[in-house]
Amino acid sequence: MEREAFTVSLTKNPAIEMKVIPGHFTTSHLHMNHYLDLDLLKTNAAMAREVAKELAVPYLTGKTIDTIVCMERTEIIGAYLAEELMQKGLNSVNSEKAIHVVTPISNVNRNLMFNNNMQKLIYNRNIILLVSSVSSGITLNIALECLSYYGGVLTGISALFNANPKKQKHEINSIFTNEDVPDYQLYYPTECPMCNSGQKLDAIIVHDGYIKI
């Protein structure tokens, strides 16, 4: 499985790379024929900074940004994104403005929430929601419901990978999409052609990677 891995680079910024592993993978909701390793984008400081530069472009004009809400371990990128938006000398509405970077927590029922001291950074604030990837949209919708509950004003959604932009209800500013990965496919388990042909699962995708079966 790993021996067939390959790397996809962003055309307009080749410094940004994503490792792709072909196989038969499952999440709790979907099956897919590629695993996208986004860890370097989130943990390598130099690459995270380059990612932030690309993600900042749509927000340099328009509404001011007060808070960046980070999901799925995107805090490093979120901090660099705030830095990009606050730079002096840019024709940015956020130049030299204070921007906060926060992450929600999960309660015992796995619902997202913000601690009392963080809620003031959400209520009536212009917010960028930053996520790692969007596939089924379940994680994204949970995050949007959380922001709505705490009175946040959604200004934009950014993602490292968007599995199918044409099927998303919201406009998402993405680094990579399914079009960057040859033959990338998502299936509901009952409709998965790999399962129907008898191909066994290779791994289960979990929060921080995958577990081989």
Contact partners, residue 86, CB within 8 Å, separation at least 6: 92, 94, 95, 96, 97, 98, 99
Give the residue-averaged pLDDT of 165-169.
Answer: 82
- pLDDT tens-place string over residues 47-97: 999 999 999 999 988 889 999 999 999 999 999 999 999 987 666 788 878
Give the residue-averaged pLDDT of 169-184.
Answer: 94
Domain range for 23 is: 2-212
pLDDT band at residue 2 using 50, 70 and 90 as cut-offs: confident
Whole-angstrom distance, CA of residue 106 vs CA of residue 108: 7
The H-or-E segment that residue 85 falls in is helix 75-86
Q: Strand, coil or helix: what is 137?
A: coil
- pLDDT tens-place string over residues 116-130: 999 999 999 999 999
| CATH label of the domain that carries residue 13 | 3.40.50.2020
Whole-angstrom distance, CA of residue 162 vs CA of residue 139: 12
Contact 139, 124 (CB under 8 A): no
What tokens appear for 172 in the block? 């998402």
Count structural domains, the chain: 1
pLDDT of residue 90: 61
Whole-angstrom distance, CA of residue 107 vs CA of residue 87: 36
Report residue 72 CA to chain centroid gap: 7
Q: Is the pTM of this model over 0.85?
A: yes
pLDDT of residue 136: 86
